Amino acid sequence: MSSQLTLLCLVHKDHPRRIFQIKITPTETVNDLRKAIKAKAQSTFQHVDAHALLLFKASIPVDALTQEQLNDLELDSLEILLSPTDELSEVFLEPPAPRTLHIIVKPDAVASDQRPLKRARLDAPPAWLVELHEKLWGKKELEEQIIRTVHLDVTDYLVLKSQLDGLNPTRGSNEYSREDVLRVKMDFLRSKPNLTSSAFQQQTGQRNPIPTTSSGSPHILAEDADVEDPVDFPEITVDDDEQQVLWTIFPEQIRYMDLSALNLKKTWGRGLPLAMFIRSEWETMLDYISQRRRGIEGSVLLTGQPGIGKTCFLYYVLATRLLHAQPTIFQGEDANVFVITDKVRVGGTIVGDDVVALVDADGEKCIPGPYILSNENHRILLTSSPRKREDRKWIKQECPDAAQVVMAPCSVEETLLIVLFILKYDVPLKRIYNTIAILGSAPRPAYHAALSNRTFNDLKVDTRSAIREIDDVAKSILTVHGNGRFPHEVFEIYPCPGSNSFFSCLVRPVSQWAFDELVQALEGRDTYAARNFYIQMQARSGAEFCGRLWERQVHKHFRSLERSTEFQAVGLDNRNNTKQIILSAATAYSDFGPMQDFQDGLTSSVRDGRQCCLKPMATTFAIFDAVLYDPGAGDLLGLQMTESPNHPLNIAGLETIQKALAPRIQSLNHLRPTVDKKLIIVFVVPKPMGASFLKQGFKKMGKAVKTMVWEKKTEQYVLELDPDEVWRV
């Protein structure tokens, strides 16, 4: 499918001569199509909100279409597009046929009000909200049933994978077709004990269960602890590159909300999936919100990268408030407002000096309704993707004390767990992992792209197109707070360390692939563009960009060496210790993908007594920026290029290195990190940063931290390079 859909549309009962054309991208939603139709047929739908347009999917040749045929057409025989968040790529699995009527439009007789200048009015709350209220209101005893914490390890992944393989034989092939497997996933997770349930804690005597390794034994923090080698599963196998990913994300504990356990019948409300992954970021955000002032002065306007679950967070808050019978005002994407107490009402009031109002502002109406803004006792929690400055003017006028904050993007680990265990569709690990490596880790665009090769390729094209449109990277980045178009296909926003304010948020590439494409495009216009970009970002505190540019250039510098060059690294444990590193044209440089390639390349160098420098291609789960084998000293060095004074080491990456150097591979066993034979980690930094660079700590990554172990198995150094020399290449 091309990067644009051409849809022929017609208002119900209109003459075929009035067929009109809509051009729209496959990644836009049903709701976006409604808005485009309203804009195209403005005179017809002048007094009808876009959300009140019913869209019927048709496939009727237009060449001989008559008015009589249209009058006789039964709309009940056509598919109605109900879910406003479905992407059009999900609706049109094949390219729309030419000279064919694709969409018939009809105003919803219930939702629309044809009186001039009146907003669409609802006579009753939506059925999905009424049913959710009936199921949850005041039923705190259901909390342990629908909010669960489970422990997952590699075995769990493999067991679920086996079940899904049996249901869909095509899931591992190019003929893969998506399947709705939510029931299978939820049944599997329900078979796991809920670690936070009172029954489990009474049974085990544990209030805080101990995270376990993939073998089921507790994490050990003893001095001589070693990382276990991967467990053998003779009946179920995975590819080598999949194994590397599994080592990185497991074991792990996840929390999730399972609304499928309620057997809901009406679930088409926007953003209300039957299963939701509860991010630790959500709990952090709730803590922040709870510390705000009461009433409208304590309002929080939450934004962040599109597709990371901001709307899911809002619905999670709604569900938990229903469980605890907490009166709430709710405004949906269609701007209709409902008052929720013992019943769901279209109107009414809630008495109190701190009434929570939840606002889904991702629709056309991105402002809380007058009912919400008119009462100073209403504390607003609003979620939306980043809006232009002109769309935020209302804040200064109506809600000047509101905090505008940004939600952190999803990590790769989070997105993989969401897709593998929570997403209703079946997306194999390799498909989602490869998609993340290209398009980034925002769950919604990642899994949509992974569902279809066509959509994946279209989104790659869209990203490249967005890159070509960037004339000035720094100026493009600044549009996140302005009125210009911010290219979310290329960049993602994230909170500044120590501050969640939207106005201090930082920007980085969505993926290493997007970054490489951007730099290549810049260098295609100007040979010195990368260096100029580096200097520009230094002046603007663009640490993420500077770090990636520095790493890229150091690799080029090392590979360009034509004669033997000696470098001296200084110890971070003891500054009196130094490490001599000699590189030359004889050093064998290569990139590796699956861990088997790493093992083969290292084995070959050990056998031949040849120095090698291995660079991981899978930057999503990079162990180090490069791994250097020095046959003279018999050392293995992890090279980490950085521009930042804080660069904590990834425990999961260290464990992956140790597992790759498995005892069964005799030629590599002597390189396996131990207390006596340490893994040497070298941070490569630009002058004059080396003198102030300190020993680095370890990333927790949500797992039990083996800091004591790895501090004894690693030795840290810093290597300082002259930027002018590095950029001379």
- Let me know whether 568 and 607 are in one domain: yes
- Alpha carbon distance 378, 21 (integer Å): 43
Average pLDDT of span 449-454: 85
Give a yes or no: residue 408 inside a domain.
Answer: yes
H/E segment holding residue 714 = strand 714-721
Q: How far is CA 56 from CA 17, 151, 571, in A?
A: 19, 44, 69
The identity of residue 582, as a single letter, is: I
Q: What is the pLDDT of residue 237?
A: 55
CB 330 within 8 A of CB 350: no
Asked if 369 and 332 touch (Cβ cutoff 8 Å), the reply is no
Are 268 and 362 members of one domain? yes
Q: What is the pLDDT of residue 123?
A: 64
Q: Are 547 and 686 in contact (CB under 8 A)?
A: no
Among 554, 588, 620, the domain boundary falls at: 554
Identify the CA nearest to 382 among candidates 284, 473, 313: 313
Contacts of 563 (CB under 8 A, 6+ apart): 584, 585
Q: Does the structure show a pLDDT above 80 at 379?
A: yes
pLDDT higher than 80, residue 76: no
Are residues 612 and 628 located together in one domain of the fold? yes
* Distance from C-alpha of 158 to C-alpha of 403, rounded to nearest angstrom: 44
Q: Is residue 81 part of a domain?
A: yes
Residues 262 and 328 reside in one and the same domain: yes
Q: What is the mean pLDDT of the chain?
A: 86
Residues 6+ apart with CB under 8 A from 628: 581, 611, 612, 613, 614, 636, 637, 638, 639, 682
pLDDT band at 268 (very low <50, low <70, confident <90, very high): low
Give 638 or 75, the one with higher predicted confidence. 638
- pLDDT higher than 70, residue 270: no
Give the pLDDT confidence score for residue 226 in this predicted structure: 46
**Cβ(228)–Cβ(214) below 8 Å:** yes
pLDDT score of 584 more than 80: yes
Q: Clarify whether residues 94 and 145 are in a common domain.
A: no
Task: Quote the pLDDT of residue 541.
Answer: 62
Q: What is the pLDDT of residue 204?
A: 67
- Stronger pLDDT, 536 or 213, i.e. the higher one: 536
**Residue type for position 647:** H
pLDDT band at 568 (very low <50, low <70, confident <90, very high): very high
Q: pLDDT digits over 548-559, tens only?
A: 999 999 999 999
Work out whether strand 626-630 and strand 612-616 pair parallel, antiparallel, or are unpaired.
Answer: antiparallel
Domain annotation covers residue 164: no
Q: What pLDDT band is residue 392 in, cutting at 50, 70 and 90?
A: confident
Lookup: tokens for 144: 């342990």
Place of tokens 């232009």: 388
Q: Would you call 58 helix, strand, or coil by DSSP?
A: strand
Average pLDDT over residues 227-248: 58
Q: Identify whether residues 340 and 396 lie together within a single domain.
A: yes
* Residue 284 maps to a domain: yes
pLDDT at residue 2, as a whole number: 66
Mean pLDDT of 474-483: 82
User: Is residue 493 domain-shared with residue 570, that is, in the same domain?
Assistant: no
Q: Of residues 72 and 340, which shows the higher confidence score?
A: 340
Q: Who has greater pLDDT, 533 or 575?
A: 575
Residues 372 and 283 reside in one and the same domain: yes
Check residue 221 and give its pLDDT.
Answer: 31
Q: Output the domain CATH number for residue 423.
A: 3.40.50
pLDDT tens sequence across 311-347:
999 999 999 999 999 999 999 888 889 999 999 999 7
Average the pLDDT over 482-503 and give the result.
90
Does 16 have pLDDT greater than 70? yes
Identity of the amino acid at 440:
G
Higher pLDDT, 7 or 202: 7
Range of the domain at 699: 561-726
- CATH classification of the domain holding 18: 3.10.20.90
Find all residues with CB under 8 Å of 396, minimum gap 6, and list them.
Answer: none
Same domain, 341 and 462: no
Q: Which pLDDT score is estimated for 680?
A: 96
Arithmetic mean of pLDDT, 36-44: 87
For residue 207, being part of any structural domain is answered with no
pLDDT at 121 over 50: no
Q: Is the pLDDT of residue 220 over 80?
A: no
Q: How far apart are CA 105 and CA 404, in angstroms?
A: 38
Strands 491-494 and 337-340: unpaired
| In the predicted structure, residue 212 carries a pLDDT above the cut 60 | no
Element (H, E) at 277: strand 275-277
| pLDDT tens-place string over residues 81-93 | 767 777 888 888 8
Q: What is the pLDDT of residue 112?
A: 41
Share of the chain above pLDDT 70, in %: 88
Q: Are residues 296 and 424 in the same domain?
A: yes
pLDDT, one tens digit per residue, over 44-61 is 887 788 888 889 999 999
Q: Report whether pLDDT(162) > 70.
A: yes
In a domain, 298, yes or no: yes
The CA distance from 207 to 200, in Å, is: 9
Q: Taking 60 as the threshold, does the pLDDT of residue 235 lie above it? A: no
Predicted local confidence at residue 233, as pLDDT: 35
Whether 113 maps to a domain, the answer reads: no
Give the chain's domain count. Answer: 4
Q: Directed axis angle between helix 240-249 and helix 651-660, to 10°?
A: 140
Structure tokens at 142: 């259901």
- In the prediction, which pLDDT does 239 show? 66
Q: Are 491 and 621 in the same domain?
A: no
Interval 457-471: pLDDT, tens = 989 999 999 999 998
The DSSP call for residue 261 is G
Residue that has been written with the tokens 């449109």 in this structure: 469
How many CB atoms lie under 10 A from the CB of residue 714? 18
Q: Is the pLDDT of residue 110 over 60?
A: no
Q: Hey, what amino acid is at 701?
A: M
- How many CB atoms lie under 10 A from the CB of residue 83? 17
Q: Within 10 Å of residue 442's Cβ, how many Cβ atoms?
A: 21
Domain annotation covers residue 114 = no
* Same domain, yes or no: 550 and 647: no
Give yes or no for residue 42 having a pLDDT over 90: no
Average pLDDT for residues 347-365, to the nearest whole number?
86
Q: Out of 122-131, 497-506, 583-592, which region has the weakest mean confidence (pLDDT)? A: 122-131
